[in-house]
Amino acid sequence: MKSSESSAVASGLPWFKSSYSGAEGGQCVEVAADTGVIYIRDSKAMAGPVIRVSRETWASFVGEA
């Protein structure tokens, strides 16, 4: 797992939030996909840091969740 300084790295990508998030915000994360990489950020801190993982790592995480 690698982290980036800010989500500007993936600013041109579409970000997606879980359909379970609701309108009130809450404890949500957003994800964006690029070639071979998934970016993850806090939906309340969009300009903040992001986590960058491989597609394989993300698929494993989702499969376990």
Q: Residue 40's domain spans which residues?
A: 2-18+27-64
| Amino acid 5: pLDDT | 46
Cβ burial of 26 (10 Å; 0-12, 13-18, 19+) is exposed
The DSSP output letter for 27 is: S
Q: What is the pTM assigned to this prediction?
A: 0.76
- Count other C-beta atoms under 10 Å from residue 19's C-beta: 6
Start-to-end CA distance of the chain, whole Å, equals 17
pLDDT above 70 covers what percent of the chain? 77
Q: How many domains does the chain have?
A: 1
Distance of CA 39 to the CA centre of its chain: 4
Per-residue pLDDT at 47 exceeds 90: no
Q: Which residues pair with 40 in a beta bridge?
A: 31, 51
